[in-house]
Amino acid sequence: MHSHHPQTLQWNGDVSGHLILIDQTALPLNITTVDCRDLESVVHAICVLQVRGAPAIGIAAAYGICVGLQTIDIHQCTTQQFEERLQHCVDQLANSRPTAVNLFWALQRMQDVARTMRQAGQLPSQIMKALLNEAITIHDEDRTMCHAIGKHGATLLDNGQGVLTHCNAGGLATSEYGTALSVLFSAQDQGKTLQVFVDETRPLLQGARLTTWECQQRDIATTLICDNMAAQVMSEGKIQVVITGADRIAANGDVANKIGTYGLAILAKHHQIPFYVAAPSNTFDLSLSTGKGIPIEQRSGDEITQGFGKQTAPDDINTYNPAFDVTPADLITAIITEQGIISPVSRETIAALL
């Protein structure tokens, strides 16, 4: 089922085409798009959060390889020149944001395709076509995974429940339905009525700007709250379920997600509210034993002191701005994937499903 809303990302044209993104920094007031016709524009879009959300970053990076390779003359270049340019594109994209594992997973898939084609003696022009096909495949697979996550997750929700979500794990963060929001959208498709509470998500307000917008687009009853109101709203009995997305999940089930997620999990535990994480299987990083190994992106202090262009703190104040935190597995009731629901969350249950 394709949504009638504008697509977060789309490829326009053939191998000489380009990537079109919804500029998420302009939402919710303006729906504008960005044309990415070179490597630099894709890297920039990822760094400044014009495209964000782990799955969407991975898809954008795959397409970024395709536009990045367009600078070479595929009829004149040597195999070595092609490989050097490909490696340059991979390096630039890999350095754009460190926490979301989908970025590295997508880049690895693109490199694997190129390596296989080269070993088969294929020409650069043929490799370029294969790489675009792989990027489109990654994009299509994500769409399918999001719908499957929603279907599994919707079984955990009852009609009339209050659901709290944090940051944005909807269609804007993926190819279409999202991860955490896919659960809500799928429940709605099944005729369930929910009351969704959305954390504004300081300091960049992805909840306020993006999640509320997506829920409004779908006519889901939505209430926006400040991050520091969640405990009070829980204590009032308004919330029966918490659902978030994830940017990287370690082998033991520790989850890195937008800063503020860990605090919500602690609050949910205290109030005996189930805490669910929705993410595709490619968000798991089984090379990391625990969440302690997940790199946490540090962002500019200006996001805190000069939020959206307005100064709200004294000059020269020290800031600390981690973009993510890690929620320990023992605070997570279940992880919802496209392959099924992992519960209880442990190294063994994760290994069994994946």
Q: Domain limits of the chain? A: 9-147, 151-353
Both tokens of residue 350?
A: 């994760």
Determine the pLDDT at residue 175.
Answer: 86
Q: Which of these, 98, 187, 145, 189, lies nearest to 278 by C-alpha position?
A: 145
pTM comes to 0.92
* Sheet with 221-225, side-by-side order of all strands: 221-225, 195-199, 162-165, 241-244, 275-278, 334-337, 340-342
Cβ proximity of 256 and 246 under 8 Å: yes
- Condensed to tens digits (0 to 9), the pLDDT of residues 162-179 reads 999 999 999 999 988 999
- Options 142, 199, 247, 254, the catalytic residue: 247
Rounded distance between C-alpha atoms, residue 259 and residue 264, angstroms: 10
Active site residue 14: no
Cβ proximity of 174 and 24 under 8 Å: no
Three-point CA angle 224, 243, 338, nearest 5°:
135
Q: Which of these, 164, 146, 136, lies nearest to 2 by C-alpha position?
A: 146
Determine the pLDDT at residue 165.
Answer: 98
Instruction: Decide: residue 159, CB within 10 A, 0-12 exposed, 13-18 middle, 19+ buried.
Output: exposed
Helix 54-68 and helix 124-154: axis angle, to 10°? 170
CATH topology of domain 151-353: Rossmann fold (3.40.50)
The class of domain 9-147 in CATH terms is: mainly alpha
Both tokens of residue 70?
A: 């367009």
Rounded distance between C-alpha atoms, residue 177 and residue 184, angstroms: 10
Which residue in this structure is represented by tokens 């004294």?
314
Rounded distance between C-alpha atoms, residue 257 and residue 255, angstroms: 6
Cβ proximity of 255 and 337 under 8 Å: no
Q: Which of these, 15, 26, 95, 102, lies nearest to 60 by C-alpha position?
A: 102
Determine the pLDDT at residue 1.
Answer: 34
Cβ proximity of 223 and 198 under 8 Å: yes
Cβ proximity of 240 and 161 under 8 Å: yes
Cβ proximity of 101 and 282 under 8 Å: yes
Rounded distance between C-alpha atoms, residue 185 and residue 194, angstroms: 10
Rounded distance between C-alpha atoms, residue 110 and residue 248, angstroms: 20
- Condensed to tens digits (0 to 9), the pLDDT of residues 31-49 reads 999 999 999 999 999 999 9
Low-confidence ranges of the chain (pLDDT < 50): 1-3
Which one-letter DSSP state was computed for residue 140? H
Both tokens of residue 335?
A: 């992880």
Determine the pLDDT at residue 74.
Answer: 83
